[in-house]
Structures are given as structure tokens and as C-alpha cells.
Amino acid sequence: MQLQAQNGSDWSSWQQVKCFKGLFYSVRTWGYSNNAKGYLWGIRFRNDYDKPITFSYKLSIGEDIKSDNGFDVTSRLKPGEIWTDGGDVFTAKLYQNASTNYWSKVIRVCFGDKPCNSNCFAGCDVVEGKPNQPDCEDDKDQSQINNADISGEYINDYDQITKIALADGGIMVEWQGSNTFYKQISDNVYMSDQIQQNGYELYLEFPGNNELKTWYKRNGVLSDEKYTYRRKSANNEIDIIIQSGEWISEGSKANISVTKEGLIYHIINSVDNGTQFYKRVAPNEYKWSDPDGIHSCILKVISTKKIDYTCNGYRLGLYDFLSDDEQAENKNSFSVNTDAIKLAGYTCTALQLQGKSDKNPSDQKLKKDLEEAWNKADAFTLEVEKKYADDKDRSLFETIFNKEMEKCK
């Protein structure tokens, strides 16, 4: 894109990058530098997408960009983050062209935290400001990945049924007795190959969790309305929709993330036990299999807020979903527990040193260590007294503290 900058001006206003509407850029020029013997420019980018973005870019002064060579790269620019190449006269980019006309170009775009794969660059936004990133891996056939496990029957709140069948280059959609081909235009979005007489362009989206969303554009304008269908199983059992977040059972807590193909399960106990992927094997049932071919576990969704957990046929318990308020309360209880154990440790150390000092009153080093230990315990006592002024928190704190002090010898 060709634009013009004013010499000596501040940063230009933000401009949308062509094709990627959630990425913005602006430039600045300091004019000619006698020290550098050239013209100084800077460019910066702002990520308004909801995912990190990696891309190659080029700023050209006085002439159009005619090839994809000589591009710079910025990696994993976080949502809301601004990245600057040449923020002042000391780091500015040097050019020999005196023109104030500039061209900028962005190519090889990828979204997410994974390295950018040359076989998996993002396409232009289909929905403005929403990443259009294929879900591909290495050299696998893209259509096989994108179309995985989406065919079947879907039902909405009005008991209207839409049937989806895979087709070459997209899907066939049967609705109210008619069949329409929808062309695949991105990872999980399909567009009807027919524009309706009233100017409607129809789209289908498969966001994961066995859902189908329908939406449309009319005369090029995107509608805010989206209609949701849920997938039916062969025996008419509908998958129960659960939320990503914290789930808790007796003795353990887990972060469970809902994906298009299954559940990502990350258990959190006293140690980090790693992450496992549970593949959807039946309606409301997800399975993880150990590489040893012997051990396996199943997460079975009972309701929107309950998951049954079994391993090798043994039932290990039920997970309950924590709401935002419950998560906050759970984190607060964890904080109380941690601080109570910490203060008990400080106090126990001081008491143990006290006993040794009483037996060796002439040991000056021991006396100094004792003083430091009591100062640390006293300071932390004042801190937790302010922190847990609430009667409920204080009662829990004292219970845990006293239990820990019973272990002090």
C-alpha cells in the first residue's frame, strides 16, 4: 500500500493491514541523518486479534514492493501488544531514497503459539478481525484435517435438522428437503456457492464441541445473528456441551479445555502431572490411551457441570465444574493454605533455634540466627493478620496453622 509521510512528524495514524484486518501498522520518518548518511524510518505493528500472530513484513521507501524477498519477521506478537522496528533515531531503519512515499506489505502470516509452518499460512480474514488459520500439521492433506468428524445430523432449539455430508472441496448440506454445496473457505468455515435472490451469502462454521453455527452476509454486510445447532449421535443422543476451565474432584483439580476433536486434560495436584489429550470416541465420552497399549482412561460427561472419571475400569471419582466465583473462592482457599503452612514453617524454625540457643547461650551466631528467624516469623504474622481479617479465612488459617505446628519438633 502506498502512503505518504510528513518529514519530522510523529507516528502516523494506525492503518489496517490489507487482508488481515486485526493487524494495524503505522510509520515514522526522521528525514535525513548526516551521521547515518541516509533517511531514517520506523514501522510498528499492533495486534488486535485474540491470538498471537507471526508474520513477515517489509517497508519500502520510494518504490513499490515487487518480490517477496528481503522481508523481516516478527514472531508471536501477543494480543494487544505493539511491536516496533526503529523506535528512535538510534534504531531506525536506513534508506537511501529521499521520497516520503512508502509501501508496506505483510505476508506469511500464522496465528497461535506454534512455529510458523510454510504449509500452513493463514488466509485473509473471512470475518473481519477473526484469525483465518488452517488447523494443519506438516504435510498432511489439509482437507482431511479440516473436514475431520463433522458429518452427521445437527439439531437446533426448534427441532430443525440439518444434515452434513463431506464432499470434494467442501460439504453438502441438506436442509428442509433441499441440498446445497458449501465450499470450504477456511479451517472451519464454509460458504454456500449460491447467492440468494435477496442478496444473502450463507455461511456455516464448525467451532468445535460438536456445534454448527450458521450466519450470513447481506449485500456484503455481516449479520450479528448466529444460529447454533448441536450434533446428534447415531442413537439420537446429543452431546452435552461443557465449558473449558477448572474442574475439581476429591483430592485433585484439573484444567479441561474443549477442542474440536476432544478434551485437553491437565491435572494439577501437588506436582504438575502433565497434559493428556482425550479423543471423542462416543457421544459425551472421551478416551486417553497410554502409548504402552495397556493403560487408558475415560472422561464421560454426565451433565454440563459433571464429568465421570475412570482409568482401566476403575472409577476414580467425579469432576465438578467451578464457576468464576467458585474458582475465585478455591484460589483464596489455596492461598490461605499456602500462607498457613509458610508461617508454621517460619515459627517452627524459630522455636527450634530457640531451643538450641537456650542450651548454648554464649553462641553469638546462633543468637543472631534466632533473632532473624523470629523477625521473619513476626513480620509474616503481621502480614497474614491483615490479609485474613475475615472470620472465615482466619478460622481456616488457624486450623491449618495449628495442624502444621503439631508436626514441629
Confidence grade of residue 382 (pLDDT, cut at 50, 70, 90): confident
What is the structure's pLDDT at 141?
39
Q: What is the mean pLDDT of the chain?
A: 78
Residue 158 clears pLDDT 80, i.e. is over it: no
* Dist CA 211 CA 162 (whole Å): 12
Phi/psi region, residue 210 (left: phi>0; alpha: psi -120 to 50; beta: rest), is: left
For 73-125, the pLDDT digits (tens) are 777 788 999 988 888 887 788 888 888 888 888 888 888 876 566 567 888 88
Taking residue 8's Cβ as centre, other Cβ atoms within 10 Å add up to: 9
Grid cell, residue 338, equals 499456602
What is the structure's pLDDT at 44?
93
Of residues 4 and 279, which shows the higher confidence score?
Answer: 279
What is the structure's pLDDT at 125?
84
- Taking alpha carbons only, the member of 174, 172, 168 closest to residue 182 is 172
What is the structure's pLDDT at 302?
80
Residue 314 clears pLDDT 70, i.e. is over it: yes
Q: What is the mean predicted confidence (pLDDT) over 147-174? A: 77
Q: What is the largest CA-CA distance in the chain?
A: 99
Residue 46 clears pLDDT 90, i.e. is over it: yes
Beta strands in 292-394 (DSSP E): 296-303, 306-311, 314-321
What is the structure's pLDDT at 274?
66
- Tell me the pTM: 0.36
